[in-house]
Amino acid sequence: METTYNTRAIILSRQDFRENDSRIVCYSEDKGKLELIARGAKKIKSKSSGHLEPLTLSRMMVVAGKDMNYVGTATGENFYPEIKSNLEKLTLAGRAAALVEKMTREGEVGGSAKIFNLLNFFLENLEKNNPAAIAPEFYDTFEKELAAISGFSENDFAELKQR
């Protein structure tokens, strides 16, 4: 097994882990869903902290550990500033990220490029357009395409959304 690899990933969520570390859940272009530990990400002098914020497209080096994988380095490619400064956009983007996190499992690589591209396309369009111009159908289309790529039937998908 490789000890390190590079990948592009969209950060789905970030949680505190131990005193100075963070637990990052991201969706990568080639490895699918990843749960990583970012050592020292909560320290004031951390250089990677801003690159590991939710709803950020980052290029990162992942180090395979014995029990967990770790973020070696991270560089943000797209921070989606328009999304983060608009509550409506942020709500839609957060719902999309939470849905990807809920509907995928770590280690499932099948369809990862399609899911990554779908989420990236959704975020880029949300970044560029007014939420009212996109209409609710845009998010509904995202949900349906994600369900289809993930292999969920309409009934299974509806049940999963209720949880």
Residue type, 114: K
- Whole-number average pLDDT of the chain: 91
Q: What is the pLDDT of residues 105-146, one digit of tens each?
A: 998 888 899 999 999 999 999 999 988 777 788 888 999 999
2 — pLDDT class (breaks 50, 70, 90): low
All residues at 6 or more sequence positions from 20 whose CB lies less than 8 Å from its CB, including other chains:
39, 40, 41, 42, 43
pTM for the full predicted model: 0.91
